[in-house]
Chain A
Amino acid sequence: MSAAASAAALEALEADLLLEGVARHWGFDLRSHSRPQLLRRLRRHLREERLESFSALQARVLHDSEALEGLLRALSSTPTSLFADAAFFRDFRARVVPVLRTWPSVRVWHAGCGTGEDTYALAILLHEEGLWGRCRLYASDASEGLLADARTGVLPLPGEDDARRHAESGGRGSLSDYYTRDGNWALLQPKLRDGIFFTQHNLTIDGSFNEFHVILCRDTLLSFNRALHNRVHARLYESLARFGFLCLGRKESLARTPHAAAYEELEGSGHIFRRVT
């Protein structure tokens, strides 16, 4: 074996031991995460923490819950601006909102909300469409640290690009109506922030906690391997009411999931699916 190949094998072993330790000690099972993504993020985290090896990271993470939180944060990635994917919100307005108008009350679950940018964008959209009063919006993430950020309702101040994407999404009025400025930060209106139920929920181990009419789970399952991805889809299916909507990322597919036949894709939408059976 060449030196590089043996170093790679050792690194893979250390990564396995780190994940095993985190799963057994903290109950966070990262072993079923997408391997290439996990390795790359762990390496970047290592460089940022100025550690020499995954073994050194393991020692720190097992003894320090803050180090674990730092690791979970490094492994997550959510959009860092409001209406980051304007096309999705435009399709949601055009295809989902008209149906929601016909329902007396709507429960919405944003699974994997991270620091809340998409959650707040959705809240603004529902408010603009006059649906905020009849919607209950639940937002969940596995990481308490990210959730704590999301709960504050404080975001980097939206710039011109954000305002443009909001308009592209079909937004009426001005984005700035929904926050007050504090230096380089935006404080979202309490009427939005206080109407969202942020809750810690780990898609990989926790069961369904309600039945929903709309589930947003966009680009969150990219970090899971195929087996876990399919297990989580079974859970999302259980949590979605018949004729409810499942909104996935632009390049996520239901094709190989166990309940693919139970959904119809809304034509011309950016991967919005409707549960039909």
Chain B
Amino acid sequence: MSVGLLVVGAPRSAGADVETLLSMLPAHLPAPVVVVLHRGPHDVLAPPLGRRCALPVVEPDDKDDLVPGRVYLAPGGYHLLVDRGSVALSVEPPEHGCRPAIDALFESAADSYGAAAAGLLFAGHDDGQEGLGLLQARGGRVAVVRGESESGEGQEGEVERLSLADVGGWLTRLAYAARGRVQP
């Protein structure tokens, strides 16, 4: 797998979908997964999200290493940024009213991993769209998971749009198709 990092962003309303996504991750995933799910400072999220996930789900401390095969969940009250193999938490002001914010994670993934990062955004919030665009511009593989109510092609056009059922296939293609790809 040439993908070195998978970043996932989701609004609060997509919490159950994120749990489903985590249950689809293969047990021997060769990349770290970093998740921002919008949350309040006191929500307990790691145990419920980890319930059906084959990988350990942790809320990292600042400057922890990013280890392949683990899921890192942004803690409440902090932005989670990635910095070439490690976690960098930040108390910069909230963005789109959110801390953790999805844009913050995606922007740092674009900076630090570029084309080696893949990004998955669950629709339903403004936060994350700008960061996803930046990640895509830097060559990262990106997709939006649309909500239940939406159907067909989305308005973004250039960004691949998936239903929750398609995500498993997208993850598999990420692991295989990317291998032969010529980097720009």
A35 and B138 contacting across the interface, CB-CB below 8 Å: no
Q: Is the CB of B89 within 8 A of A251?
A: yes
**Is B128's beta carbon under 8 Å from chain A?**
no
Q: How far, in angstroms, from A5 to B114 measured CA to CA in the complex?
A: 8
Chain A's interface size range is 20 to 34
* B63 touches which of A4, A39, A77, A253 (Cβ 8 Å): A253
Chain A residues near B62 (CB, 8 Å)?
221-222, 249, 251-253
Looking at the assembled complex, report how far the CB atom of B93 sits from the nearest CB atom of chain A, in whole angstroms.
7
| B61 sits at the interface (CB 8 A) | yes
Interface presence of A41 (CB below 8 A): yes
Answer whether residue B69 sits at the interface, using C-beta atoms and an 8 A cutoff. Answer: no
Report if A219 contacts B (CB, 8 A).
yes
Question: How many Å lie between the Cα of A35 and that of B82 in the bound state?
Answer: 10
Q: Which of A37-88 contact B (CB under 8 A)?
A: 37, 39-41, 77, 79
Q: Are B88 and A222 in contact (CB under 8 A)?
A: yes
Interface string of A97-112 (1 = CB under 8 A from B): 0000000000000000
B107 lies within 8 A of chain A by Cβ? yes
Interface string of B104-118 (1 = CB under 8 A from A): 100110111011000
Pick out which of these stretches binds chain A: B3-11, B20-28, B73-81, B142-150.
Answer: B73-81
Return the 9 tightest CB-CB contacts between A and B, nearest first. A36-B108, A253-B61, A36-B81, A4-B137, A2-B184, A34-B88, A37-B90, A36-B83, A219-B91
Q: Return 15 A-B CB contacts under 8 Å, by A number.
A: A4-B137, A4-B138, A5-B114, A5-B139, A8-B114, A35-B84, A36-B82, A37-B92, A40-B90, A249-B91, A251-B61, A253-B61, A253-B63, A253-B64, A256-B63
